[in-house]
Amino acid sequence: MPKILVQSANAPTTGFTDKSAPSPLAQAIRAGDFLYVSGQGPLDPQTKEVVSDDIREQARQTLKNIVSILEAGGANLSHVVNMRVCLRNVADFATFNEVFREFMQGEKVTRTCIGGTPHRARVNVEIDCVAYLG
């Protein structure tokens, strides 16, 4: 079964250390009936800069990036079976969860949310996910 690279112009490709060099990562890869979306953060798709320092705005942009990539792969949030979330500040959990709830609109997923230090300065949230398309 070949893996299929998925790309959306409406989301940034992460994993870069130099914005002028290509990233070594794919935004997402479809393998069989599964779509694996690389970790996304609150980056503007065109500038690749962090959109804001506010956790609400960061969560919204991160989830918008996820949705754009899912759509490019023929999916939406209803197809997501698992998400992993990393918050720089665990005190942001309740606020993040409010934004998450808005985006999910009642859709249920399995999710892990941990505190950690995303590699990019000013990034306060990073999310990856797996969607089932079968």
Structurally, the chain folds into a number of domains equal to 1
Stretches where the chain sits below pLDDT 50 are none
What is the domain extent for residue 45? 3-132
Lookup result for tokens 């960061």: 58
What is the pTM assigned to this prediction? 0.95
Residue 113: CATH number of its domain: 3.30.1330.40
Rounded-to-integer distance, Cα 127 and Cα 94, Å: 16
Bridge partners (DSSP) listed for residue 112? 84
